[in-house]
Structure 1
Amino acid sequence: MGLARLAALHGVATVHTPGPDVAVPVPDETVVAVLAALGVDASTDEAIHDALTRAESDAADRLLPPTVVVWTTPETPAAGPGGTGERSGPPAPVLPPSLPRALADLPPDTLLRVETEQGDTVEWPAPEASAPASAPVAAPAPASGTPLTAPVGRSWPGLPLGVHRLAAVAADGRTAGAVLVVAPHEVPGPPPRTHGFLVQLYSLLSGRSWGMGDLGDLAELAVWSGRELGAGFVQINPLHAAVPGDPTDPSPYRPSSRRFPDPVHLRVEAVPEYAYVTGPGTARLAGLLEQAAGLRAAVLEKDALIDRDAVWRLKREALEIVREVPLAPGRRAAYHHFLAEQGQALEDHATWCALAEVHGSQWHDWPTGLRDPRSAETGRARRELIDRVDFHCWLAWLTDEQLAAADRAARDAGMAVGIVHDLAVGVHPDGADAWAQRDAFAGGMSVGAPPDAFNAHGQDWGLPPWRPDVLAATGYAPYRGLLRGLLRHAGALRIDHVMGLFRLWWVPAGADPTRGTYVRYDAEAMLAVLVLEAHRAGAVVIGEDLGTVEPGVRESLHRRGVLGTSVLWFERDWQGTGRPLAPESWREGCVATATTHDLPSTAARLTGEHVELRHRLGLLGRPLEEEQREDSAEVADWLGTLTRLGLLPPDGGDEEEQIRAVYRFLLRTPARMVGVWLPDAVGDRRPQNLPGTWDQYPNWRLPVADAEGRPMTLEELAASPRLHGLMGVLRPSVGD
């Protein structure tokens, strides 16, 4: 009982429920290991007793939790940047509907003081817990830097949206401090109906690419699809910085840093200084361009895989040449502004990159002193490597500029949403973020998933989880910085495994994934920070909520305006007939798609080729004939539904007609956004990622191809009759 009570106080589950009326106990050794990762010793009965006594005593004495959340009412006009689609503007005071419980439960006569992020001071008495509530009263907005005492009684002062500092002084002399997050009621919403492309950027090569898709290609795709096809958005894979290796892990979902993008996505020729290279550098660049053309031709004409490392070797050499061109005064001022704006986070990231060039990318194997970003040894190394640190800062700036250019291009093309960026669920344990923020990550733990109907063995993703206690103690500073960076140039943000805002499955190092457990996060605080930062950026938020979702999560996300993800093949009447869900029964608050990067393309699904692929790779759990019968029955069920709805001719039509019917079906749903998997538009059979494989399948290394497997350039895609035939189905939906 003591271990269970101690675990509950720290948000660690001792039982998990994989299905209705099924409860699976978590092994004690797992609970002990997870508590140790949270800084709690539960190794013996005595240690459990001592830890429990301290935890219960601390809870009883605590005036405030580390972070307090205040939500505004739905009727409150949006205040601050982003509320009217603008990117800046002074925040106005807003009123919450009532006191948060953390303040309502304070002892009588407790004095509260708020130092706002805008530099103002607000003070007011807390209410007596037993007194009846009265309507909240707005205090006049204070002038910057001046104190203001709010009216006495059960009133709540007008506070601007933001992340503020809260202090409490109780009548008995106890004091406490906390971070106060004042958030809008919900994130900005998308237009009533819009459609757009979903694409893995690396797979989209143009005639100017250096062997993989880049930010120049992204801008071109956005402008073309926005102006010619009426598309409202382009959703791409995470552009996070990768951990360099030999070879580099090509997965965009296991990055070195989620905070900073990877410069491999740069269009080198679009760097302004490129045009001013002179002397021997000109010839060297010409040679690199010729090699880049060879990489591009190998992928597009010779069935070679996308080679990220080869692309980066060429781009890095070219960028070293371009860097020799001095920055003009205006450009230098812009660079210095970027450095000041990004501050310590960028310095840490660039330092890790510079150290990795010398010592390798596994920082756990670096000399002891360099494993700590704040050590004297690291400080000395940073000074010794200052030129390389500056090089990586410069790369981050250039990438940020090209991200901004793609964002502007999308908006100028009339896109209602724009570029939808993707946030991976975690980071590589050897990467820059895990080094720079090592205290915020749980050592010896990995994020994964428990056993379920799709994977009886559970999953271990090899990503260290954030410590919920450290996040709360820092006012969610690492999370806030991450979101702010990603939202700088985003029309929307997709959050992979959005359920992780509520809880994550932690797996101790060396343990089987089945022997993990759930650890809870303060979902209200995580959501409040997300909603606030999205509001500041004027960005839509999309949650990938596929798979095991505990009750209440989708409802909480919907209440805050976060869209879900609905995939055609998973939308069935699971509580009733099990048949395909009628289009009018789909939820409105979602992005409706036919497939994702982890699933077969629609052509492969309709033809059954995805089953044959998994059979060839030895991934089937049952005989091929059995798998094919079940798959064929599922496809027939959907084709029958499409025919009954009048979306397909009685004879079933050919493959192209069937794919168009699938997207017509998606348009029949009330979904706010309809996503077209770009490979679907040209009949591509190959999945971009085949879960459960590593070297058996070329995950994350395939270009977009046609139905025969021939790679297609962006220029060929733009001229494809098949693509235009499909998009003709969707274009009339704009503005509906």
Structure 2
Amino acid sequence: MVDDSPAPSDALLRLAAAHGVVPDHWGFHGDLRRASADTLCAVLAALGVDASSPERIELALAHVDDMPWRRVVPPTTVVRSGREQLVPVHVTHGDPVHVWLELDVESGGGRRDLTQADVYVEPRTVDGRLVGRATFVVPGDLPLGWHSIHASGPSAAARGVVVVTPDRLELPAELAEGRAWGYMAQLYSVRSRRSWGVGDLADLADLGWLAAHETGADFLLINPLHAAEPVAPLTPSPYLPSTRRFVNPIYVRPEAIAEAAYLSAADRSLVEWAAESVLPLDLEPGPIDRDAAWTAKRTALDVIHAHPRSQPREAQLAAFVEEQGPGLRTFALWCALAEKYGAETIPDELADPSSPAVAAEAQALADRVDFFVWLQWVADEQLAAAQRAAREGGMSIGIMHDLAVGVHPAGADVWSLGDVLARGATVGAPPDMYNQQGQDWSQPPWRPDELARAGYAPYRDMLRTVLRHAGAIRIDHVIGLFRLWWVPEGNSAKDGAYVRYDHEALVGILALEAHRAGAIVIGEDLGTVEPWVRDYLSERGILGTSVLWFESGDDGNPLPPEHYRRLVLATVTTHDLPPSAGYLAGEHVAIRERLGLLTDPVAVVRAQADAERDRMLAALRSRGLLGADPSEREVVEALHRYVMATPSVLIGVALADAVGERRAQNQPGTDQEYPNWKVPLADSVGQVVLVDDLFANARLRSLAAVLDAQR
């Protein structure tokens, strides 16, 4: 048992299963662990289900059985292209009903009447009414897209969403038989002499072009660029954003905005003075100060925003706003409220975006709402410029964006999306080898039922924004499209339960939006993943992830490179580990010991790490990749030669590895104990490395030559 509370009853287990709550999971030591009754009740409560007593459980079970019969048509039906699908339609028993599809305008539009299948289902009494079920056929020849299903009749007037998704997301032609390699970078940490203390989108454009032109890289994977709070203190983690749909304006380069070139002398001086306060930070090796950077940047951006725009520029802004829909102004309104009241202290009377009180604030804050709308437009322009620069430099893929698992519990998405995000539980992970106390990421999860009820529109809109200027997208913790570890409020991270999601819908919609954007999709499928999940993702054309240190054979030795999967992004390391130089030196053990994160004796963990390193060095030597007395640089290059010997279609190289950085960017399981997501890019002696000097770095050029030679 996970704790001392009572074991769940059979009825509670049935109710949990009906809502996708999984009571059992395998621990990292190979033991089967069961959630307690209290944990299951708390998770069900976060799903809007009252399981507080045996009577309530029975009532909830009856409600689950009746719910589909209360709906005329399902709120969302997701089908694969080329496959027929049967859709149930519920009306008063004996009533006629007419059912048809309205096709997506992007797919050419039009209307298709649906035929009824010869399927008999016994009618059911629901809420005192005898309800019959008619079954209609969604044909297999529909175009990809977001269509709508309509039902009309004496007891039917309803509409639902039908999403037709690709059966498989195909790789670009150049990767069908070939491969590509690229860099992985934390953008905020990679600064230039013109940055404002934080790496930005102008730096991204330069980095992408130079990486391709100077070293032959095909892609550049960066951290999530999702928006944080609009006022200090800013949450440093790019994986704990306010929203995943919109972009963090801290990455905007003020001088790169078109209107900045036409400022008056006085206004130009204001921008320059703002920059002067933070430009020296670019050379600081200490923690990145996002608050200082954003405070200075916001002053300059206010000045530029106030400058008149030309008629074409106004039209372009208006077109962007129209394309983004009402969600953009809703987000901008939250930003204005957060700016006025504080992101975590917005008054309770403003908690409902549709309330008269919020409408009054929107009118009073109209200028600030316009400002935050404009920020998204200029960020979008600079993102487009960065992808264009990367491709013009010679990258075959370009910028690879990253999608975080969730959002901040007091952020814009929680405010604006209502019940689509759960209350009373957060996302995390059960204990594993590297985080033996489990993890609580403090992010409210999607509610599967509400997401389907919303036609998956919040998920679709989020994907479309991230994919707008992407050659590829990495899905952090892709297992979250199948199941997530829910930690009830007040519980420790180890006392949670998995909740299952409709992976056919979530993966299918991801494939559809990536297909439309022409982007590759990579799922981060590390950790505890059911074997069938990797097969399913591969079948759908979603690449997986292989990290050298996590790949081992049955004998415990490093997995031979020829045994790696082909359809993966293979790397030596990941942002949740120290760079290779630090990992080889045991920094991942030293950090956890200093911070009290180990549950096993430190001597045992250190011995395990030493044995892991020795096995890796032996594997490198056995393949002739390493001499008897190698330098640190030679070992790091040998590790990358090993990964390049795999059949993997994508090879990622951490920029930190390329310059010899030793410090970890993030230590999972910590908040303030370690400067997570604040470590600027530096070399092996701790000297900051700027974009301006990056591709003259001898260590980087040596590693790049190794990679390009083995492509």
Q: What secondary structure does 1:216 align onto?
A: helix
Q: 2:436–2:597: 8 Å Cα contact kept in structure 1?
A: no
Other-structure match for 2:146: 163
Matched residue SS, 1:213: coil
Deviation at 1:625, TM superposition (A): 4.4
Paired amino acid for 2:343:
S
Q: The residue matched to 2:531 in structure 1 has which SS?
A: coil
Q: Which moved more, 1:29-38 or 1:494-503?
A: 29-38
**Is the alpha carbon distance of 1:217 and 1:60 closer, same or farther for their aligned partners in structure 2, counting shifts above 3 Å?**
same
SS at match of 1:552: helix
Percentage of matched positions with identical amino acids? 48
Q: Distance in 1 between matches of 2:450 and 2:364?
A: 32
**Greater displacement, 19-28 / 280-289:** 19-28
Matching residue's letter, 1:8: A
Summarize the Cα distance change of 1:105–1:604 in structure 2 as closer, same or farther, 3 Å threshold. Answer: farther
Could you report, residue by residue, the CA deviation over 1:414-461 in whole angstroms, capped at 9, with x for unpaired residues? Answer: 211110111110000110111011221111111111233433432211
- Higher mean C-alpha deviation, range 602-611 or range 500-509: 602-611
SS for the counterpart of 1:261 is: coil
CA distance in 2, matches of 1:158, 1:616: 60
Give the whole-Å Cα distance in 2 for the aligned partners of 1:353 and 1:61: 39
Q: Deviations over 1:474-520 (max 9, x none)?
A: 11010000001110011111111110101111111112222211111
Give the match for residue 336 of structure 1. 318
Change (3 A) 1:676 1:10: same
CA displacement 1:561-587 (0-9 Å, x = unmatched): 1111110011101xx211111111000
Pick closer, same or farther for the CA change 1:173–1:322 going to 2, 3 Å.
closer
Q: Which residue pairs with 1:99 in the alignment?
A: 84
Deviation by residue 1:310-358 (Cα, 9 ceiling, x = unmatched): 0011111111111221001111100011111112111111000101111
Structure 1 residue aligned with 2:407: 427
Alignment counterpart, residue 22 of structure 2, candidates 5, 8, 13: 13
Q: Which runs of no fewer than 5 residues in structure 1 stay unpaired?
A: 73-95, 131-152
Offset, 1:176:
6.0
Other-structure match for 1:83: none
Secondary structure of the residue aligned to 2:667 is: coil
Asked if 1:361 is matched to 2:343, the reply is yes
SS class of match (1:54):
helix
| Contact in 1 for aligned 2:100/2:114 (Cα 8 Å) | yes
The answer on whether the counterparts of 2:231 and 2:338 sit within 8 Å (CA) in structure 1 is no
- 1:449 and 1:696 map into 2 onto residues whose CA distance is 19
Residue matched to 2:102: 115
Which of the numbers 539, 547, 569 marks the counterpart of 2:527? 547
Say whether 1:31 aligns with 2:9.
Answer: no
Query: TM-score, structure 2 length as denominator?
Result: 0.91
Give the letter for the 2:166 counterpart: P
Mapped partners of 2:11, 2:143: distance in 1: 43
TM-aligned CA distance change 1:286 to 1:174, over 3 Å:
closer
Partner residue of 1:68? Answer: 77
Counterpart Cα distance in 1 of 2:471 and 2:603: 45
The alpha carbon displacement at 1:640 in A equals: 1.1
Amino acid at match of 1:732: A
Secondary structure of the equivalent of 2:383? helix
* Whole-angstrom CA distance in 1 between matches of 2:605 and 2:336: 50
- Structure 2 residue identity aligned to 1:332: E
SS at match of 1:16: strand
1:410 counterpart = 2:390: yes
Q: In the TM superposition, what is the alpha-carbon distance from 1:596 to its structure 2 partner? A: 1.0
Q: Are 1:264 and 2:242 an aligned pair?
A: no
CA contact (8 A) 2:435 2:669 kept: no
Distance 1:566 1:448 in 2: 21
Task: Note the C-alpha offset of 1:158.
Answer: 3.0
> After the TM superposition, which residues 700-715 of structure 1 pair with which residues of structure 2 at under 5 Å, given as runs?
700-715=677-692
Match of 2:190 in 1: 204
> Offset at 1:722?
1.1
Deviation string, structure 1 residues 234-280 (Cα, Å, up to 9, x no partner): 00001111125653221111111111111100111101111111142
SS of the equivalent of 1:691 reads coil
Q: For residue 103 of structure 1, report the CA deviation from its aligned partner.
A: 6.4
CA contact (8 A) 1:188 1:539 kept: no
SS in 1 for 2:114: strand
Residues in 2 aligned to 1:154 and 1:36: alpha-carbon distance in whole angstroms: 36
Find the residue that maps to 2:316 and give its secondary structure.
helix
Deviations 1:115-154 (A, max 9, x none): 1122411013133349xxxxxxxxxxxxxxxxxxxxxx98
Do 1:122 and 1:157's aligned partners in 2 also have CA atoms closer than 8 Å?
no
CA distances 1:611-641 after superposition (whole Å, capped 9, x unpaired): 3444444444455544433222211111111
Cα distance between partner residues in 1 of 2:195 and 2:334: 28
Specify the alignment match of 2:263 in structure 1. 277
Q: CA RMSD in A?
A: 2.4
In structure 2, C-alpha distance between the alignment counterparts of 1:501 and 1:334, rounded to whole Å: 35
Aligned counterparts of 1:348 and 1:370: Cα–Cα separation in 2: 13
SS in structure 2 of the partner of residue 447 of structure 1? strand
Aligned to 1:378: 358
Q: Say if 1:104 and 1:127, in contact at 8 Å, map to a contact too.
A: no
Flag the 1:124–1:343 CA change in 2: closer, same or farther, 3 A.
closer
Tell me which of 300, 303, 311 is aligned to 1:318.
300
Confirm whether residue 391 of structure 1 aligns to residue 391 of structure 2.
no
Match of 2:281 in 1: 295
Structure 1 position 243 matched with structure 2 position 229: yes
Q: Retained in 2: the 8 A contact 1:26–1:516?
A: yes
Distance 1:154 1:267, change over 3 A: closer
The alignment of Structure 1 onto Structure 2 pairs a total of residues equal to 678
| Residue number among 454, 461, 471 corresponding to 2:441 in the alignment | 461
Alpha-carbon distance in structure 1 between the residues aligned to 2:315 and 2:156: 48
Going from structure 1 to structure 2, the CA distance change for 1:467 and 1:667 (only over 3 Å counts) comes to: same
CA distance in 2: counterparts of 1:35 and 1:620, whole angstroms: 32
1:729 & 1:103 partners in 2: Cα distance?
58
Say yes or no: does 1:181 pair with 2:160: no
29-38 vs 318-327, which moves further = 29-38
Against the structure 1 CA distance between its residues 631 and 21, is the aligned structure 2 distance closer, same or farther, given a 3 Å change threshold? closer
TM-score (norm 1): 0.88
Separation in 2 of the partners of 1:398 and 1:70?
A: 37
Q: 1:606 aligns with which of 561, 581, 584?
A: 584
The answer as to whether partners of 2:70 and 2:90 remain within 8 angstroms in 1 is no
Q: Indicate how the Cα distance of structure 1 residues 543 and 469 shifts in structure 2: closer, same or farther if over 3 A, else same.
A: same
Deviations 1:13-64 (A, max 9, x none): 2333336974333222222222222222222222222222222133466675
Q: Select between 691-700 and 394-403 the one with higher mean Cα deviation.
A: 691-700
Structure 1 residues 154, 243: closer, same or farther in 2, change over 3 A? closer
The correspondence of residues 692-707 of structure 1 with structure 2, limited to 5 A, is 692-707=669-684
Contact 1:105–1:129, Cα closer than 8 Å, also in 2:
no
The answer to whether the Cα contact below 8 Å between 2:214 and 2:695 also exists between their aligned partners in 1 is no
Distance 1:173 1:349 in 2: 38
- 1:440 pairs with one of 415, 420, 423: 420
Query: Which of residues 90, 104, 115 in structure 2 aligns to 1:125?
Result: 115
For the 8 Å contact 1:111–1:126, the answer to whether it is kept is no
Question: Does 1:50 pair with 2:37?
Answer: no
Shift of 1:177: 4.2
Distance (Å, rounded) in 1 between the aligned partners of 2:509 and 2:697: 43
Counterparts of 2:640 and 2:76 in 1: how far apart (Å)? 44
| Residue 219 (structure 1) aligned to one of 192, 205, 219 | 205
Of 577-586 and 287-296, more deviation after overlay is shown by: 287-296
What SS does the corresponding residue of 2:468 show, helix, strand or coil? helix
Relative distance call for 1:155 and 1:693 in structure 2 (3 A) is closer
Q: Which residue of 2 aligns with 1:148?
A: none
Decide whether aligned partners of structure 1 residues 640 and 16 sit closer, same or farther in structure 2, where only a CA change above 3 A counts: closer
Between the aligned partners of 1:465 and 1:679, the Cα distance in structure 2 is: 32
The 1:338/1:581 distance shift into structure 2, 3 A limit, reads same
Q: Deviations over 1:206-259 (max 9, x none)?
A: 111111111111111110111121110000001111125653221111111111
Q: 1:615 to 1:550 in 2, by over 3 A?
A: same
Query: 2:5 — aligned with what?
Result: none
